[in-house]
Amino acid sequence: MIEEISISDLGVIGDAKLGFSKGLTVLTGETGAGKTMVLSALGLLLGSRADASAIRRGSNQAFVEGRWYLESTRPGSRENLDSIREALDNAGVAFDSAELILNRSISSEGRSKAAANGRAVPASLAAELGERLVVVHGQADQLRLKSSSAQREALDQFAGESLAKVRSQYENVFSELNQKKLRLEALTSDSAARSAEIAELRLAIADLEKADPKEGEYSALSELAERLGNLESLRSGALAAHEALSSSEIGENSDAVLLVGVARKALEPLIGMDSRLGDFADRLREVGYQLSDLARELSNYVSNLDSDSEQTLESIQERRSLLNSLSRRFACEHDELPGLGERFARRLLELDNSDEVLDTLRGEISQLEVEASALAGEMTALRKAAAAELAEEVTAELAGLAMDNSRLVVQVDSLGQLRPHGSDDISILLANSAGSEARPVAKSASGGELSRIMLAIEVVLAKNEQAPTFIFDEVDAGIGGSTAIEIGRRLARLSKSAQVIVVTHLAQVAAFADKHLKVSKTHAGDITSSDVIDLDEESRLTELARMLSGLSESLSARESALELINLARRTS
């Protein structure tokens, strides 16, 4: 849910902080006080287009920040939270707790910056998060259920777990079916290009088998070639080092091993006279062992040089040239050559278009089509049952919202073909009177009616809704009296399962609020400023009286306001 929104220099609002809570929050105020700026601020946080003209006069920048607390205790909210976490992870945004902070700034030059939990992000990410955080219904644009896909998702959500299970199975089968169809198309189209590729692959595999490259072979050959090219220098240096360490040919007691031994033997008889000499003798003995080992290793090195010389430098260079040629031909590193043959073999198998392979693939496709059609049929039956139930429940809600002649129709039509989400086309329609033709909701309802229709739908869908917050702007336009009370009652009911924020001008709706915020305006010269006040019980009574009669201190208006509050408490 939204916990707090801070606004600086946006429209008529200089500096305001709005605190929200669970349940129903209403936002009221006189016309022109800046209620719409609060929704504009929220829109900016959730990726709306930035407009420099919205910056408060005399300021260089507008800034808004919102803090959300994302809990996972409501139905479907765990999946929603996981999707939000995934979107943030993909953008490199840390999200270790349930708190999400979004902010957005607009400069007077029109530049806009957005951030999530302190990290700069594109506005498109804010828009993506917005779809998961908030459902907005306004007079200007109904963001909910605008597209056919959104209408299908709403119906599927209402249908619940039974449809979700079948849909998941269908989507898996449909995905496999598409993959096999693509493979069949690849095998049966452009035969000339495929035949050329098959011939090239077979030649490449044959050449690689003949060359039989080994892992690490090229590096080993390069090192060997380097040694053979400098064989005499290496042999001469190694022999000289060996003779200096251990050789009887350069004079008695003159090689390193013998000289160290002489030094050790000179000290050993004296250890009893001074114990410190024992440590020196031990260290000389250790040095002697190391020199002997080193002399032996040098001798082995010289012997290995002789074995290296059994391969000619010419043969090594020919092998390196072959490996270089294969590396250039297949555009790969030398160490990739040993695994290349297996990779080419797999590709060759994919291109195999023998009658046996094609017949097997066609058989698999046919079987998957049968499975997908059966699952699509199950989805259609479940959707039709859910559509009838959804239409009935929403129509009942509309009757209480001064639309008792209106009837919602949820239509499930066949597309005649399999699609990623089944074979159904979903349409949510409205019939304005008994016997009238049902038409798309947007074409058959006024702005105020559209908001009420969406309210009725949301109240019905709320039991399975994933979005944590609903915002309604002027949902009560063009109505009053008992109908307004019914709208307030339904908003209160919706707020039992989700956070609901409502911009309203009717006291009958505001009376149902758990939290009441008032936008007030002041004038300083030709500059109008607005502030947002969290009303206590007394000031709330005053505001409701103003909304009822225009006279905040009217005794009768205050009595009516108190009566409305008591009615709301009894019936919500």
How far is it, in rounded angstroms, from Cα 57 to Cα 287?
87
Alpha helix positions (H), 230-354: 231-245, 256-267, 276-308, 313-329, 337-350
Strand partners, 7: 16, 64
Task: Tell me what pLDDT residue 316 has.
Answer: 80
Residue 236's CB is within 10 A of a number of other CB atoms, namely 11
Q: Residue 498: name the closest of 145, 100, 35, 77 by CA.
A: 77
Residue 249 backbone phi and psi in degrees, to 5: -90, -5
User: Would you give per-residue pLDDT tens digits along the chain (572 residues)?
Assistant: 888 999 888 887 888 888 888 889 999 887 765 677 788 888 888 888 888 888 888 888 999 999 988 765 555 566 677 778 888 888 888 777 778 888 999 988 888 888 888 888 888 888 888 777 887 766 554 545 667 887 898 899 889 889 999 999 999 999 999 999 998 887 777 667 777 888 889 999 999 999 888 888 888 887 777 766 666 566 666 666 666 666 645 455 567 777 777 777 777 777 777 677 778 888 878 887 888 888 788 778 777 765 555 567 778 888 888 889 988 998 899 888 998 989 998 888 877 666 677 888 899 999 999 999 999 999 999 999 999 999 999 999 888 887 888 889 999 999 989 999 999 999 888 888 766 788 887 677 766 677 778 778 877 877 666 567 888 876 776 677 788 888 888 889 888 888 899 888 889 999 999 999 988 877 655 555 677 888 999 999 999 999 888 777 788 888 888 999 898 888 76
For residue 79, how many other CB atoms are within 10 A of its CB?
12
What pLDDT is stored for residue 514 in this prediction?
A: 92
What is the distance between the alpha carbons of residues 145 and 410, in angstroms, rounded to a whole number? 12
Place of tokens 């801070």: 6
Rounded to whole angstroms, the Cα distance separating 196 from 96 reads: 54
Structural domains of the chain, with CATH: 2-138+467-484+493-571 (3.40.50.300), 211-348 (no CATH)
Give exposure, 179-189, as e/b (b: 16+ Cβ within 10 Å). ebeeebeebee
